[in-house]
Chain A
Amino acid sequence: MAISRIPPAALSLKQFLQRQRVLGIYRNMLRTIRQVPDEADRKYLADWARAEFKRNKDATNQDAIRMMITQANNHLEELQKSLALARS
């Protein structure tokens, strides 16, 4: 049996995709927060998002991560809707 050359700390495909998804959500959130008109609100939201993501950084349970991703998406949509309302 050939010795596997993949390092032990490498992620499986699913974990890798999930990681990409989380980073994508973080990026979208930061981009949406950029559109908030007030400077202090922007800073508060950015710090909140950062703290939330960092707090759950070490979660390994796939289902828990999936739940958190859904939650983050909901927050993101809420923020986008509020911004759209504020702009109109």
Chain B
Amino acid sequence: MAARVLQQCVRSLARPSLRLCSGNPAVRAAAAPAVAIHRPLSFAADSRRTRWLGQSRVSVVGVLCRQYGDLPPLTLETIKDRVMYVLKLYDKINPEKLQTSSHFMKDLGLDSLDQVEIIMAMEDEFGFEIPDAEAEKLMTPEEIVQYIADKKDVYE
């Protein structure tokens, strides 16, 4: 009974995302048999897994579909670009001398108050709070990128 309810959930989730897709008939044909195949498989133990499989099958096929209520995924490259962009906007940093390995205090001549401001700017940019104890250890852009990648589970 529960399995049938879950199948209906998968089907109802699959249908709106297919409608929003660019309407490629091959896409629809590929997704529909995928859902149909999973129907006989879903019993109590497997139901949750096939629901996940059904959703992931649809999302892989419909890459052009919109992502609901979530930001685009972070990669190390995008994190690095955003960090460097924020640093270049900071008025006390000379953009030509800035590299990922430049130490704030030793290479760029900033002091601890400036470092606090930089970390606050990073918090604003990425939307999550960095606690004091960990913030004072971040002294180069490379370390900041590593820390954000750790916190946001970005691997490569």
Listed residue (A19, A20, A23, A50) with the most chain B CB atoms within 10 angstroms of its CB: A23
Given contacts A23-B112, A23-B113, A50-B113, whether A30 and B120 have CB atoms under 8 Å apart is yes
Given contacts A27-B120, A30-B120, A31-B120, whether A53 and B132 have CB atoms under 8 Å apart is no
Q: Is B111 an interface residue (CB 8 A)?
A: yes
Q: Is the CB of B117 within 8 A of A23?
A: no
Q: Which residue of A is nearest B129, CB measured? A: A31
Q: Is A87 an interface residue (CB 8 A)?
A: no
> Chain B contacts of A19 at CB under 8 A?
112
Q: Number of residue pairs across A and B with beta carbons under 8 Å? A: 27
By size class, the interface of chain A is 10 to 19
Given contacts A27-B120, A30-B120, A31-B120, whether A57 and B132 have CB atoms under 8 Å apart is no
Q: Is B136 an interface residue (CB 8 A)?
A: yes
Residues in B11-29 with C-beta less than 8 Å from chain A = none
Q: Is B116 an interface residue (CB 8 A)?
A: yes
Given contacts A19-B112, A50-B113, A54-B113, whether A24 and B132 have CB atoms under 8 Å apart is yes
Q: Which residue of A is nearest B123, CB measured? A: A31
> How many B residues touch A, CB cutoff 8 Å?
10
**Per-position binary interface string of chain B over residues 97-140, scored 1 when its CB falls under 8 Å from any chain A CB and 0 otherwise:** 00000000000000111001100100010000000100110000
Q: Is the CB of A26 within 8 A of B116?
A: yes
Given contacts A53-B113, A57-B113, whether A23 and B132 have CB atoms under 8 Å apart is yes
Q: Which residue of A is nearest B120, CB measured? A: A30
Q: Is the CB of B112 within 8 A of A30?
A: no
Q: Is the CB of A50 within 8 A of B117?
A: yes
> Chain A contacts of B132 at CB under 8 A?
20, 23-24, 27
> Chain A contacts of B117 at CB under 8 A?
30, 50
Please give the distance in Å from B48's CB to the nearest CB on chain A: 41
A50–B113 Cα distance when bound, in Å, is 8
A50–B114 Cα distance when bound, in Å, is 9
A54–B116 Cα distance when bound, in Å, is 13
B113: contacting residue among A26, A31, A34, CB under 8 A: A26
Seen from chain A, the residues whose Cβ lies within 8 Å of a Cβ on chain B are 19-20, 23-24, 26-27, 30-31, 34, 50, 53-54, 57
Seen from chain B, the residues whose Cβ lies within 8 Å of a Cβ on chain A are 111-113, 116-117, 120, 124, 132, 135-136
